[in-house]
Amino acid sequence: MIDKYSVIIIPGSNEPVVNRQISKRVIYTAVFLLVSFITVSAYFAVGFITSSIDEQRLTDLTFENEQLSSKIAKLEGTVYGLRAEMSEITRKDDYIRLIFDLPTIDPEMREVGIGGDAVDFPHINSDLGERTWLVEEDIEKIQRQLQFENASFEELIAKVEEKKSDLDHIPTIKPCEGILSRGFGMHNDPFTGSYQPHNGLDIAAPAGTPIYATAKGVVKYAGYQTKLGNTVIIDHGNGMRTYFGHLSKIKVKKGQKVNRHNLIGLVGSSGYSTGPHLHYEIRIGKSPSNPYKYIIRSIVS
């Protein structure tokens, strides 16, 4: 076995040749140290590069996280606004049902409309993940509630249309402008002075003041009667009729269809009258009813 190696160095032309002997152990040690140095250097180089990449990735993820957090915050604000709008829609739904005397929706039924099978809260460790899940859950609930409310409004529209037809035939306006000179109930008769029932309203107004139909109906009578003078009687269906007396001129004919606000005559003093005024009655069947409780607004309001 060779224990040593000779290394011959030949310098320039005028220099002597150098011969050095190096033991095998020294060579092996040098090779080992060189390999170790290269290995350690490579390890740290890879570690440095990896650390730089991880740091850049962390920076990118932090930026993305901030962007997502900002978007989720906006979505949370939008969801909050949608919940407020949904609450207002629900309130209006209840209000419309109240006005038209329609059955209200039980709150528990509305909860069924936005509910369903219970969903377990996911095991998410990040705050951003939990917020994302909650926003998605809220949006799903609002979508389902919108579907429920849309169905409710479709039902409302159908029922309101039915109610509207009924309301069109109910007298709800003042038949003419003027001053109420005598109301419904027991009053002294202006001719005899006797205390007796007055079945309608007397509205004092200048002669020629327009008189309007107070609801949709059909003219059943347009002519002269002894006490009421020139008289118009309109049948509104369901046993309800309106009477207009003491007209100076009649503007409709028997059998004519009229709508609310249609002109039917002019104020006068014909028949059993002390001056120009309109005698206005509402009868249900044969029974007189106080017209004042039906008047919602005047024709000019």
pLDDT digits (tens, 9 = 90+) for 6-59: 777 777 667 777 777 777 787 788 888 888 888 888 888 888 788 778 777 777
Mean pLDDT value of segment 73-85? 78
What pLDDT score does 248 carry?
95
For all residues of the chain together, what is the average pLDDT? 80
Q: E strands within 122-239?
A: 179-182, 185-188, 195-198, 201-204, 210-212, 217-225, 229-237
pLDDT of residue 244: 97
Q: CB within 8 A of 244, min separation 6: which ones?
A: 175, 211, 231, 232, 233, 234, 264, 265, 278, 279, 280
Task: Determine the pLDDT at residue 220.
Answer: 96
Buried b (16+ CB within 10 A) or exposed e, 196-212: eebbbbbbbbeeebebb
pLDDT over 70 percentage in the chain: 84
Q: Give residue-wise pLDDT tens across range 139-164.
A: 777 777 777 877 787 877 777 777 77
Q: Is the pLDDT of residue 298 over 50?
A: no
259-272 average pLDDT score: 93
pLDDT above 90 coverage of the chain, percent: 27
pLDDT at 165 over 80: no
Instruction: Report domain 179-294's class.
Output: mainly beta
Q: 227: which 2 tokens?
A: 């006490």
Q: Alpha carbon 171 to chain centroid distance?
A: 32
Q: Which residue has the higher pLDDT, 236 or 195?
A: 236
Question: Residue 43 in 3-state DSSP?
Answer: helix
pLDDT of 301 over the 50 cut: no
Q: What is the DSSP-derived secondary structure letter of residue 103?
A: P
Tokens standing for residue 258? 């009229």
- How many degrees, rounded to 5, is the angle at CA 9 between CA 5 and CA 15? 145
Q: What are phi and psi of 168, to 5 degrees?
A: -60, -25
Predicted confidence band of residue 196 (pLDDT cuts 50, 70, 90): low
C-alpha distances in Å from residue 227, one per residue of 101, 147, 179, 244, 279: 39, 60, 21, 12, 11
What is the torsional sign of CA 213, 217, 218, 220? negative
pLDDT at 231: 96
pLDDT score, position 255 = 96
- Distance between CA atoms of residues 13 and 298, nearest Å: 133
Run of H or E residues at 136: helix 127-168
Q: Are 217 and 236 in contact (CB under 8 A)?
A: yes
Instruction: Say which DSSP state 170 is in.
Output: S
Among 215, 140, 229, smallest CA distance to 171 is for 215
- 135 vs 238: which has the higher pLDDT: 238
Domain with CATH 2.70.70.10 in the chain: 179-294
The residue type found at 94 is: D
Residue range 203-210: mean pLDDT, rounded: 94
Distance CA 173, CA 244 (A): 14
| pTM tops 0.85, yes or no | no
Q: Which of 291, 160, 168, 288 is nearest to 237 (CA)?
A: 168
Residue pLDDT, tens place only, 98-132: 766 777 777 776 665 555 454 455 555 567 777 77
